[in-house]
Amino acid sequence: MEAKGSTTVHLAVYDTLADWETGHATAWLARAGYTIRTVGPAAGEPVTTIAGVRIVPDLALADLTPDDSALLILPGAEKYDEGDELTPFTAKARAFLDAGVPVAAICGATAGLAKEGLLDDRSHTGAVSFYLAATGYKGGEHYVDADAVRDGDLITAGPTEPVAFAREIFARLGAYEGKRDAWYRLFQHSDPAAFAELNG
């Protein structure tokens, strides 16, 4: 099911973003007809990923509203462990979830959501349980030791699971119905039979 009829997926971008974590999701959502737009601290002001790639955001976080979006993706970043600079992004995630628009967070972004209180009563995962516990959050009993977890409108994953993360995003948005299993087997397990299924 698509949020509010929108076909725009918003990808948060900020300094120290972990490049490898969202590529499967964004590339394959674009192939499924979604428009991917980047959202940064300020429109037109470049951010630099862990790899040193410069990205110029399409719009500023302050200008993003849930009504304009099918999904907000929060990649991990070292900045989540260095202070509160990215708190505006987790506050925006709260606004999305309150509006019934899905949010997908991976790696360090899960710690940001934990600090925001968004994992206190939702099933979730992350890098490891003690990483999230270090935030002081109250949701430890809801931690699931899994590649990726989807609880209603919230999707979480650890840093080594970009393929499982994408699979749960596709499931929430209803993308690749009937082919998600083949897609996952191809990219997670290099199953050659899955290629024919996916492209059949």
Map tokens 């900045």 to a residue.
Answer: 79
Q: Which two tokens stand for residue 68?
A: 């304009």
The Cα–Cα gap between 166 and 178 comes to 15
Neighbours of 197 (CB within 10 A): 15
**Which residue is associated with the tokens 């110029």?**
56
Closest CA to 81 of 151, 14, 144: 14
- Judge whether 107 counts as a catalytic residue: yes
Residue whose C-alpha is closest to residue 70's, from 176, 180, 173: 173
The DSSP bridge partners found for residue 157 are 106, 148
For residue 74, the SS3 value is strand
Q: How many angstroms from the chain centroid is the CA of residue 190?
A: 23
The catalytically annotated residue of 107, 119, 169, 186 is 107
Residue 185 is inside which H or E element, if any? helix 180-189
CB neighbourhood size of 121 (10 A):
12
Catalytic positions, please?
107
